[in-house]
Amino acid sequence: MKRKVIAVLLASTMALSLAACGSGGSTGTTGTDDAAATDDAAAADDGAAAEEEAPVAEGSSADENTLTVWTWDPQFNIYAIEKAAEIYAANGHEGFKVETSEILSDDIETRLTTAVSAGDLSTLPDIFLMQDNSFQKYATNYPDIFTDLTDSGIDFSQFSEAKVAYSTLDGKNYGIPFDNGAVVNFIRTDYLEQSGFTVDDFTDITWSDFMEKAKVVLEKTGQPMITAQAGSPDLIMMMLQSCGASLFNEDGSVNIDGNEALKKCVEIYSQMVADKTLVEVTDWDQYVASVNNGTVATAMNGCWIMATVTIPEDQSGKWAATNMPSLDGIDGATNYSNNGGSSWIISSNCQKVDLAVDFMNSTFAGSTEFYDDIISKGALATWAPAGDSDVYNQEVEFFGGDAVYSKIVDYATKTPSNITGPFYYDARDAVGVAISNITQQGADIDSELTTAQETVEFNMGA
pLDDT of residue 9: 40
List, for residues 334-352, the tens digit of each pLDDT value: 999 999 889 999 999 999 9
- The answer to whether residue 37 scores a pLDDT higher than 60 is no
User: In sequence order, what are the residues at sequence separation of 6 or more whose Cβ sits closer than 8 angstroms to the Cβ of residue 372?
Assistant: 386, 389, 390, 391, 392
Domain 2-181+341-391 - what CATH class?
Answer: alpha beta
List, for residues 276-317, the tens digit of each pLDDT value: 999 999 999 999 999 999 999 999 999 989 888 999 999 999
- The answer to whether residue 33 scores a pLDDT higher than 90 is no
* Length, in residues, of the chain: 462
Q: Are 178 and 341 in contact (CB under 8 A)?
A: yes
pLDDT of residue 326: 98
pLDDT of residue 172: 96
Q: Do 2-181+341-391 and 183-337+418-460 agree at the fold level?
A: yes
Strands 226-229 and 168-169: unpaired
Distance, C-alpha 18 to centroid of its chain = 14
Element counts in the chain: helices (H) and strands (E): 19, 12
Mean pLDDT value across the chain: 88
pLDDT of residue 382: 86
Three-class DSSP labels, 317-330: CCEEEECCCECCCC
- Residue % of the chain over a pLDDT of 70: 87
pLDDT of residue 211: 98
What are residue 173's phi and psi, to 5 degrees?
Answer: -95, 130
pLDDT of residue 62: 80
Exposed / middle / buried, residue 62 (Cβ in 10 Å: 0-12, 13-18, 19+): exposed
List the chain domain ranges: 2-181+341-391, 183-337+418-460
* Dihedral of alpha carbons 127, 128, 131, 137, sign: negative
How many other C-beta atoms can be found within 10 angstroms of the C-beta atom of residue 331? 10
- Residue % of the chain over a pLDDT of 90: 77
- The answer to whether residue 5 scores a pLDDT higher than 50 is no
CATH topology for 183-337+418-460?
D-Maltodextrin-Binding Protein; domain 2 (3.40.190)
List, for residues 40-94, the tens digit of each pLDDT value: 333 334 444 434 344 445 688 888 999 999 999 888 899 999 999 999 999 999 9
List, for residues 188-226, the tens digit of each pLDDT value: 999 999 999 999 999 999 999 999 999 999 999 999 999
- The answer to whether residue 417 scores a pLDDT higher than 60 is yes
Strand partners, 77: none
Of 461 and 435, more confident: 435
- The answer to whether residue 460 scores a pLDDT higher than 50 is yes
List, for residues 355-365, the tens digit of each pLDDT value: 999 999 999 99
Q: Are 307 and 377 in contact (CB under 8 A)?
A: no
Instruction: Read off the pLDDT band of 21 (50, 70, 90).
Output: very low
User: In sequence order, what are the residues at sequence separation of 6 or more whose Cβ sits closer than 8 angstroms to the Cβ of residue 41?
Assistant: none
Q: Are 425 and 37 in contact (CB under 8 A)?
A: yes
Q: Which helix (H) or strand (E) holds 346?
A: strand 342-346
- The answer to whether residue 330 scores a pLDDT higher than 50 is yes
